[in-house]
Chain A
Amino acid sequence: MSTQLISEQALARSRTARARLVAVLGPMTMLGGVAWGFLQPYRLTVLHPHGQGLWWLLVEPPLLVIAVGVVFALLIAPGLIEDLEDDASAAR
């Protein structure tokens, strides 16, 4: 096996690992928000909404963390992974 082929395979593996990392960033952020919600349920006013003001119902930190994960996973990660894969196939 030529050294060029070995280095190309190593590069492709590194790109796959990077794509996996990008793919888990969103779900990991969401998981962080869910775990926080379980650890501090009193910060989720949606669970006990009676008597809460508008801002307490709108701004709930664990839900905001989940929202960041969702935005990244749905809007940013797919295109980024696609571009990484294009990069990998162009290098082959």
Chain B
Amino acid sequence: MHQPPAEHVHWLFATGFLLLGVCLLARAIVGDEVWSRRAWRAYLWPSLLFSLGVLMWPVMVFFTNSTIHMVAHGAWAQTMMLAGAAELGLVRGKLHARAWRLCLPLALAVSGIALLVHEQNGWYFARAAFLHHALGWTALIGAVFPLLMVFRPRARAWGAGLALTLVVASVLLYSDRDVAPVFGHLSPLAGEPHR
């Protein structure tokens, strides 16, 4: 079986983030008390986040072609696993300190910085460059919501903000193509667009 093109991997991750976003939106609507009434549901979104982190490792190994690219993917893998594991520990009752909830905003902030730092080209170089910048700022701004949730865990607006951040991230990931123009712009250095 051939290796999937990089854009397909982005679309698969977009699907994971969309499912995560929809689950977190439902959790924000019903409240944590009702959401966590069934044990499997309480574990669902942290497990999904942890799994996305685990799945990022093969992406790092097989799909990166430069050191900075590899380091960025490694940072996403580590922070997603850390945030997922911390939330799992909190749900299970193994972790008690509220400070563990900081892992989620940390994951988003580190991911946003990694996205912005590892993109060497400007916004309109190609669609992938535009999406890296847009995703980086989305993750950085979105990190505010889980940070506020650390101090006001029951505030549904912050929960909904986090969920919508993930939905926006999934839309941006679904828009990714290997080489494609963005708003009519495509640098000749980016290569030939296909499909």
Residues of A within 8 A of B (CB): 18, 21-22, 25-26, 29, 42, 53-56, 59, 61, 64-65, 67-69, 71-72, 76-77, 79-80, 83-84, 87
Contact = CB atoms under 8 A, between A and B. Distances in A.
Nearest to A64: B15
Given A67-B15, A72-B19, A84-B34, A53 B26 contact: no
A55 B5 contact: yes
B157 to A, nearest CB: 14
Interface stretch (B35-43, B50-58, B68-76, B108-116): B35-43
B14 A64 contact: yes
A55 B6 CA distance: 11
Given A76-B23, A80-B26, A68 B41 contact: no
Interface string B177-195: 0000000000000000001
Contact of A80 (B11, B14, B19, B30): B30
B26 A76 contact: yes
14 contacts: A18-B30, A22-B30, A25-B22, A29-B22, A42-B195, A64-B15, A65-B18, A68-B18, A72-B22, A76-B23, A79-B41, A80-B41, A83-B37, A84-B34
Interface string B3-25: 01100100110110011001101
A83 B18 CA distance: 23
Contacts of B29: 18, 21-22, 25
A61 to B, nearest CB: 5
Given A21-B29, A22-B29, A76 B14 contact: no
**In terms of DSSP, what is the predominant structure of the interface of chain A?**
helix
B2 A80 contact: no
Contacts of A26: 22
Contacts of A56: 8
B18 A29 contact: yes
Nearest to B175: A61
A59 B41 contact: no
A22 B19 CA distance: 14
A32 to B, nearest CB: 9
Contacts of A54: 1-2
B14 A61 contact: yes
Contacts of A84: 30, 34
Sorted nearest first, the 5 A-B pairs with minimum C-beta distance are A55-B4, A64-B15, A59-B8, A83-B37, A68-B18
B174 interface: yes
A68 B18 CA distance: 7
* Among B1, B18, B25, B38, residue most surrounded by chain A Cβ atoms (within 10 Å): B18
Contact of A61 (B2, B25, B41, B174): B174
